Structure 1
C-alpha cells in the first residue's frame, strides 16, 4: 500500500510532467475559460428580441463579435506581435530593393504572423464552436433569416413563417413548433461539430506540412524548441538583474555625485537580437541571439542567407536607426 510520501512524490512527478507541456495547458485553459464564459454569457445576458427585423443581426453579432474581440485581444496580449511590429517601418526600408534579402524578410514575417494567428484563433474558435453547440445564438438568428425560415416552413402550417421569429421566446409551444426548435438546435450542433472537425483537420494538415518542410531532423527541432524557451527565460532573468543593477548604480551615483560605470549592450546589439531569424540546416545557430554572439566573436558580418549579403551589419543597423528617427521626427 502506497504511503502518503509516495503519493506526494507521484503527484509531484505528474505535475512536473504537465509543466513540460505548459503551452498546451495554456491553450486548454484558454479554451476552457472561453467555453465557460460563453455558457454564462448565453444564459445570463443574451436575450433574443424575437423580432423579424432584429433576430438575424442580433444573433450573428452576439455569436461573431465576441469572437472577433477575443481574436484581436489574442494579438494584443501576445508579446511576439509587438516584437514583430516594433521598428517594422525601419526594417521595410532596410530590406526594400534587395532582392533575395527582401524575400527572406517577407517570409520571416509570414511565418511569425502565421504563428501569432494560430495562437490568437484558439479563443474565438472555441467561442463560436461552443455557441453553436449550445444553440441559443443560432436559434435566434436562424429564426430571423428568411432563407432558413422558407426552407423549414415547407409543408407546415400557414402561420409558420409568422411564428418562426417568435419561436425562441415562446413558452407554451405546440408540437409542431417544438419540432422546429429541435431542428434548429440540431442544425446548430451539427454546425458546431463540423467546425471543430474542420479546425482539427486544418491544424493536423498544417502541422504535418510544417514538419515535412523542416530542414533538420525531429530531435534537432525539439532541441531548438527547448533552447528557445531556456534562452528566453534566462534573457528575461538577466535583463531584470542588469536593469536592477544599473538602476542601483545610477541612484547611488546620483547621491554620491560620481559617474556610473556599467557595461550595457549597445543599441545596435539590441537591434540585432530583436530581428527575426529563420532556422536552417546550413547554420549552426538556434536563434538570433545565438547567431549574433557567435558572429560577433568571429568578427564577421551578421548576414542572413549567404555570405555575399550582409543584412544586419553595424553600418546598416545605424542607417536603419537613422531612418527610424527621421520617421519619428516626421
Structure 2
C-alpha cells in the first residue's frame, strides 16, 4: 500500500509532465499485458479483449481527473456557494469554466490515449477481440473462401491461443490482425501529436505576451505553487504545535496570524493572465494591495521603519536647512525598507 501511495504521489506531482505520464503508462501496459491478460479463446474473445483495451483507459482518465488539483479547485464548494452558482448562469463564467475544464481534460487524456496507443501497437488485445467478431464481412476478410462461416468462427476463437487451432493459415490471419492493430496505434499517436501541435500553435498565436514572458510566467507559477504547498504545511505545523502546547501546558495560546476564509476563497480562484495588469497569479493579485497599503504608524514605530509613502518629503527638506547635528539626529531615527 505504501508503494501504491508513492506511485500516486509521483503521478500527481508529475501530471503536467506529459512525457513522464506517457512513459509510465506504457510501462504499466507492458507489465499488465504480460502478467494479467489471457485470451479465453471462445465466444468471450471480443468482450474480453475490448475490456482490456478500453476499461483501463477509462480508469486512467478518471484517475487523471482525480489527481488533478485544478479539478478540485474548480469544483470545491461549487454546490453550496450561491454567489458562484449565480455567476455561472451568465455566459462569460460558463466559457471560463469550459476552457478550464478542457485544459484539465487535455492533461487527463494523456494516460488513457497512451494506454490505447501502446496496446494497439502490441496487438494482443486487438487480436483477441477481433477473433471473436461475429460479422460475416469480417470473417470473410480473415478466412476468405476456404472455410465455411461456422468453421471459420470456431477456428477464429482459437487463433490467439497457441496449439489450440490446426488451421495452417492461422499465422497469416494473426499477422493481418496485428498489422491492422499497429496501423491504428500509429494513427492514434499521430493524431495526438498533430492535435497537440495545432492546440499549441493556436494558443501561442493568440498569446498577448512574448515567448520569454510566457516562459517566465510558467516558471513563476510553478515556483509559487511549490512554495505555497511548503508554506501551508509549515503554517499548519506551527498552528498545531501552538494548540497542543497550549493544551498540555494549560496556558493561553500565543498569537498566530492566519488568512481569513475570504482570503482562502480569493487565492483559490483561477487566474487568467492579463498583460494590462502587473500580476502573474491570483496570489500576486491578492498581495499587491497589501504591498501598496500605507503602514500603520504605531506598527512602523514598533518595527523601526517607515515606508517611503509615509515620509513627508517637505519635512525632510526643512530638516536639511537646519543645523546639521539636529537634522542628522532626526533623520537617523528613520529607516527605509
Q: TM-score when scaled to structure 2? A: 0.75
| Match for residue 162 of structure 1 among 133, 137, 154 | 154
Separation of aligned partners in 1, 2:227 and 2:202? 31
- 1:86 equivalent to 2:76? Answer yes
Instruction: State the match for 2:142 in structure 1.
Output: 152
Deviation track 1:17-52 (CA, whole Å, cap 9, x = no partner) reads xxxxx9599433332232222122222221111123
Q: Is the 8 A contact 1:31 1:122 kept in 2?
A: yes
More relative contact order, 1 or 2 (CA 8 Å, 6+ apart): 1
- 1:139 equivalent to 2:132? Answer no
- Tell me how large the CA RMSD over aligned residues is: 2.4
Structure 1 residue 106 displacement after superposition: 2.2
Q: How many residues align?
A: 275
Structure 1 residue 113 displacement after superposition: 1.6
- 1:290 equivalent to 2:289? Answer no
Q: Is the 8 A contact 1:34 1:126 kept in 2?
A: yes
Separation of aligned partners in 2, 1:46 and 1:94? 47
Structure 1 residue 205 displacement after superposition: 0.8
In structure 2, the gaps of 5 or more residues are: 1-12, 294-337
Separation of aligned partners in 1, 2:144 and 2:71? 50
In structure 1, the gaps of 5 or more residues are: 1-21, 300-330
Q: Is the 8 A contact 1:83 1:274 kept in 2?
A: yes
Instruction: State the match for 1:68 in structure 2.
Output: 58
Moved more, 55-64 or 80-89: 80-89
Could you say what secondary structure the match of 2:258 adopts? coil
Q: Is the 8 A contact 1:139 1:181 kept in 2?
A: yes
Structure 1 residue 139 displacement after superposition: 0.6
Structure 1 residue 85 displacement after superposition: 1.2
Moved more, 28-37 or 269-278: 28-37
Counterparts of 1:237-316 in structure 2, within 5 Å, are 237-254=230-247, 255-296=249-290
CA spacing shift, 1:89–1:215, aligned 2, 3 Å: farther
Instruction: State the match for 1:219 in structure 2.
Output: 212
Counterparts of 1:44-193 in structure 2, within 5 Å, are 44-52=35-43, 54-90=44-80, 93-94=83-84, 96=86, 102-147=90-135, 148-158=138-148, 159-171=151-163, 173-193=166-186
CA spacing shift, 1:190–1:48, aligned 2, 3 Å: same
Deviation track 1:41-85 (CA, whole Å, cap 9, x = no partner) reads 222221111123x11111101111011111111111222221111
| Match for residue 236 of structure 1 among 229, 250, 264 | 229
